[in-house]
């Protein structure tokens, strides 16, 4: 076991702040954290920074010039992991937007090879599609959206049941049989790219779909006579939702309103893409966002740290809560909150240092 003396900075545990504690770790887990004046056998000098729980990003498509979601390979997956770690996220769900089954299979193979080679930081694959509503396709390729029959679901999941962890779906497009079958596969489902009515969305949440993907974007909006998916997300006491906090996907005031209503049910994703000039998903950078050649908003240029900063500086969310939105709450969404998202006994000892100059650094203690 190692006892770390944290100096020249503060530690956010997930519950509150501690100055210069002693942190005991063993075999990748935190054993104890306490105030103390002992020397410790290891020192971690934060140099004026903050030690916080490592972030978790459950939706992004690529990074560092490699678009994993369109051109999946171990190389593009590693580039995406590296991009995420530089932004404070130690665990991600690389995401494939609606595409051919062959591209999905390549992504599944890439994740398997990455794991087999000792790669860390990938919790599984997020398939955003292909079972979406064309009326809310956003930047997704309409000709690659599929009808969600049991057979179509089997073709994908039979290839990668060990890899596919999360799927964004439009439940109103499913038959009761196909939705029950998909739910039986043990994959985390999230309502998104959906034109469901308020009643349909509430029913989906009641029937066990726990989440909604990128709140406000590509879903039926809140209208006074038709509350839509947004109204159902606000109204359902158990529904969680991700949100893209960059000021382009969602206005800061809309994030603030959602946060007041939802509290700890709202969490951050980056929805990050990278430059790409070939394939179905050609992303062109405009300022701090990406668009398709026709101008459709297609992804963000966020890191998780940038999303946290936006929430604090532009939305008015306190730093403690913004950090939880990037760590503790996405851990809950993935069902791993017993050992990710806090700095506390029993939790993994992979943490994030937020340096005063804006850099983020993942450290295993």
Q: Are 145 and 127 in contact (CB under 8 A)?
A: no
- Annotated active-site residue in 19, 271, 287, 320: 271
Strand order in the sheet with 360-364: 17-19, 10-12, 50-53, 350-354, 360-364
Residue 208's nearest CA partner among 181, 239, 169 is 239
Q: Which H or E element spans position 289? A: strand 289-291
- Residue whose tokens read 């403690």: 320
What six digits make up the tokens of 325? 């939105």
Describe the strand order of the beta sheet including 297-300 as a list of residue ranges. Answer: 284-286, 289-291, 297-300
- Three-class SS state of 244: strand
Residue 310 and residue 308: Cα distance in Å, rounded?
Answer: 5
DSSP string spanning 124-137? Answer: -EEEE-SS--GGG-
Q: How far apart are CA 135 and CA 128, in angstroms?
A: 15
- Helix, strand, coil fractions of the chain, as percent rounded to 5: 30, 25, 40
- Annotation marks residue 26 as catalytic: no
119-133 exposure pattern, b = at least 16 Cβ within 10 A, e = fewer: eebbbbbbbbbbbbb
Q: Which residues are catalytic?
A: 271
């Amino acid at each position: 076991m190692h006892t770390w003396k944290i100096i020249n900075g503060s530690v956010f545990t997930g519950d509150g702040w501690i100055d210069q504690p002693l942190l005991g770790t063993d075999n990748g887990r935190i054993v104890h954290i306490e105030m103390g004046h002992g020397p410790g056998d290891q020192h971690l000098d934060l140099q004026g920074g903050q030690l916080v729980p490592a972030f978790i990003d459950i939706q992004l498509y690529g990074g560092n010039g490699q678009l994993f979601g369109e051109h999946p390979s171990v190389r593009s997956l590693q580039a995406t992991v590296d991009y995420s770690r530089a932004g404070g996220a130690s665990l991600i769900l690389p995401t494939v937007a609606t595409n051919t089954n062959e591209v999905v299979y390549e992504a599944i193979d890439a994740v398997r090879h990455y794991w087999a080679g000792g790669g860390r930081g990938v919790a599984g694959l997020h398939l955003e599609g292909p079972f979406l509503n064309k009326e809310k396709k956003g930047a997704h390729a309409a000709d690659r959206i599929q009808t969600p029959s049991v057979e179509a679901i089997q073709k994908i999941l039979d290839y990668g049941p060990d890899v596919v962890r999360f799927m964004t779906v439009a439940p109103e497009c499913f038959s009761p049989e196909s939705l029950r079958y998909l739910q039986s596969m043990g994959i985390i489902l999230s309502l998104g790219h959906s034109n469901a009515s308020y009643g349909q969305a509430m029913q989906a949440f009641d029937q066990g779909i726990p989440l909604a993907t990128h709140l406000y974007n590509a879903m039926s909006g809140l209208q006074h006579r038709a509350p839509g998916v947004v109204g159902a997300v606000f109204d359902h006491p158990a529904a969680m939702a991700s949100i893209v906090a960059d000021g382009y996907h969602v206005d800061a005031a809309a994030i603030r309103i959602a946060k007041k209503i939802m509290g700890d049910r709202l969490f951050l994703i980056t929805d990050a893409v990278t430059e790409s000039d070939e394939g179905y998903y050609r992303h062109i950078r405009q300022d701090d966002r990406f668009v398709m050649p026709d101008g459709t908003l297609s992804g963000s240029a966020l890191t998780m740290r940038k999303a946290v900063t936006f929430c604090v500086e532009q939305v008015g969310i306190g730093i403690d809560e913004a950090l939880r939105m990037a760590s503790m709450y996405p851990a809950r969404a993935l069902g791993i909150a017993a050992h990710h998202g806090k700095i506390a006994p029993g939790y993994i000892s992979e943490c994030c240092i937020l340096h005063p100059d804006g850099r983020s650094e993942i450290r295993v203690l």
